[in-house]
Structure 1
Amino acid sequence: MTDRRTVLTAALAAIMAPAPVRRALAQGAMSQPMNQVTAYAFSFPALAGDDIRLAAFGGHPMLIVNTASLCGYTPQYAGLQELWTEFSGRGLAMVAVPSNDFGAQEPGGATEIAQTAQHDYGVTFPIAAKAAVIGPNAHPFYRWAAQARPRDVPRWNFHKYLIGRDGYIAEVFPSAVEPTDTRVKTAIARTLAAA
């Protein structure tokens, strides 16, 4: 039997939680205790269309990658698309998060970002609207990730967070690690195989 103090503490935690967490709780999207926020609590405005709600991918591994159109790593879009083609049918979710934080290498708007990602590299996975990924104005997902893994924050474009089925960061791959690197593919396969 649950005691009154536990119920009151849980209710207070839900009321005091950040807005994305309150929305996730209201939608029943959080599988962890209320005091443990997961990646599924966040959403990104989409480059086009409806918001990208990570709760929609609950229970599925996700690869979240900050991207840029004018970076030396921009050709990694092709490798990301290859991963998407190989693993999305098995349950992998992927979101590109364009950012102008590093070297001002994402100066354009939605049209220019879509031109690079979708037309030049054939990207078919979801792309968020341009967002900050570092600093005080960072998107809430990136602030959460920085708290969870302070030594593994993005230091440049094409930094990759692999989120496990439990909604927590499973692996982090810096910009220089190609999406098709064996380490990335092995980590994705491992998270997909996890119950």
Structure 2
Amino acid sequence: MDIITDLTLVGALAIAWTAAGLVADGLQGARSAAQLRRRAGWLSALVIIGSAVFVAVPATAWVRPGESNAPAAVLLAAIPALVVLTIGVRRLGQVRRGAGAFATAPHAPLPPGLRAAAAHPLILVPMQVTGLAALLGVPIAARLVEVPASDVAGYAITAVGVAVVAIGVRAAVRHSRLSLLALAPIGRSRPRIPVSSR
């Protein structure tokens, strides 16, 4: 299989998952429930496109004769993509259904609990890590990096590890802050029990 086909497949994978990571990052910034529902729909579509490209890579390598670097290039991205498909998609569906509950009032402000759910790390982190890993596959598909190449692989794994930790910490801090905002009205609305004087 030629280098153009490899680059096309891996490039499409990188574009789809990087776009998914960017949309997931802005999910909690929606101004209304209707906007959150639209963004969740776009994110679901990007996940479907990215998953279809994952299926297309081995299928194309099997159908077309010749050596292909595409399967090796997408292997690193396959692990976080599995987390997206097993956990992230379910949580994204919950957010989309929660936003859909406000369909009769599309301009209603976004409830803090729904905003916190949209910022959950299990939605954001796997998608951004998949996009990052897919981007690292582009030089492999372009045959700029040979696999295995111990030095380059070591640097790449270190860079991905640092990025994963940074993405995870950022997502966890943001989710915690939004969760506290969701619980704040509950704390303020506690009924006061009058003290009767004798």
TM-score bracket for the superposition, by shorter chain length? under 0.3
Structure 2-normalised TM-score? Answer: 0.23
Q: Which has the higher contact order (CA 8 A, sep 6+)?
A: 2
Structure 1-normalised TM-score? Answer: 0.23
Larger strand proportion of the pair: 1
Which structure: larger Rg?
2
